[in-house]
Amino acid sequence: MTQSASRNTNDLAAAMAGRAKNLRRHMLRMARGQGQGYIGQGLGIADMMAVLYFSELRYSPDDLQRFDRDRFLLSTGHYSIALWAALVESGVLRHDELDSYGRDGSQLEMSAIDTTPGAEITGGSLGHGLGLGVGMAVGIKTLAPQARIFVELSDGEMQEGSTWEAAMAASSFRADNLVALIDCNGIQADGAIVLDMEPVAAKWAGFGWDVQEIDGNSIPALLAAFDAARARDGKPKAIVLRTLPGKGVATLEKREKAHFIRVDASEWDQFERELEETGG
Ligand SMILES: Cc1ncc(C[n+]2csc(CCOP(=O)(O)OP(=O)(O)O)c2C)c(N)n1
Ligand SMILES: [Mg+2]
């Protein structure tokens, strides 16, 4: 790599780290307004969402229905806090809407719905996002060949048979415009993963996918994985992300039962301080 190429890569990584921090700030603000929420997951995938929305995804915040756009499908509807943060950061949603997260009448539902601008699907009925993504990928390939479909799904969703039916269909239909972003955060509702899903990467490879497994909280690893996924043809791509729930807020990184977090009013200032003290 030349010096200027490496400087450009470093500049991009620094910019993405800044975006990820902003996303985490937005998430704390949303959750603070509500006093609770699916905060751990959002903080865990903030790095992936930053790189996806601000370096990878080809879409226009001013023209959300543009037909040849890339589409991002959030299968785990309960991770909506991460999607809302990205859509606020990209200017699709208003910043002051953050305070309405989870309230009656808000567009920022605790489980994502497709009536919110920028949300492509209603998630939350777990195990369905990948199947929707496969259908979109196969359909759009002939109509807008440059468009790609990115689907976020979780380790818990790998225990749904429908996920594997979709995985088989994707490779059978050679949906190489499909990228699955599999968040392996090691939790599933109120505790550790119930069924042992390891080796995760080998399972996806066995289903005919091009697989990468990375530290999902490493911005350089995320940038490299998206680059590699973009460069490869012929197979659907899976990026297995090992993430830490609560990432970026020291107290929440250590929190047990991180699936749905209720927080004492006195703790928010501390969380915000811890986030600002975190590097990146
Ligand atoms: C089909 C279906 N079954 C059960 C649920 C209830 N549910 C909501 S979140 C969740 C945990 C799933 O694990 P994961 O997606 O890994 O979530 P995490 O704990 O990491 O947030 C479950 C079982 C659901 N939403 N949909
Ligand atoms: Mg999980």
240 and 182 Cβ atoms separated by less than 8 Å = yes
Q: What is the pLDDT of residues 199-254, one digit of tens each?
A: 999 999 999 999 999 999 999 999 999 999 999 999 999 999 999 999 999 999 99
pLDDT at 275: 97
pLDDT at 3: 64
* C-alpha 154 – ligand 1 centre gap (Å): 9
Ligand 2 (single-atom ion) residues, CB below 5 Å: 154-156, 185, 187-188
Bridge partners of residue 237, in order along the sequence: 179, 210
pLDDT surpasses 90 at 7: no
- Of the listed ligands, the closest to the CA of 260 is 1
Angle between helices 39-51 and 3-34 (to 10 degrees): 150
pLDDT at 187: 94
Domain 3-277 maps to which CATH number in 3.30.460.80, 3.40.50.970, 3.30.360.10, 3.40.250.10?
A: 3.40.50.970
pLDDT at 41: 96
By most ligand atoms within 8 Å of CB, the mutation choice from 126, 200, 259 for ligand 1 is 126
Give the C-alpha separation, 115 to 75, whole Å. Answer: 15
153 and 180 Cβ atoms separated by less than 8 Å = yes
**Does 171 contact ligand 1 (Cβ within 6 A)?**
no
Instruction: Tell me the CB-side half-sphere exposure of residue 110, using CA atoms within 13 A.
Output: 14
pLDDT at 140: 97
Least Cα distance to 255 among 246, 264, 263, 268 occurs for 246
Q: Where are the domains of the chain?
A: 3-277
Bridge partners of residue 191, in order along the sequence: 188
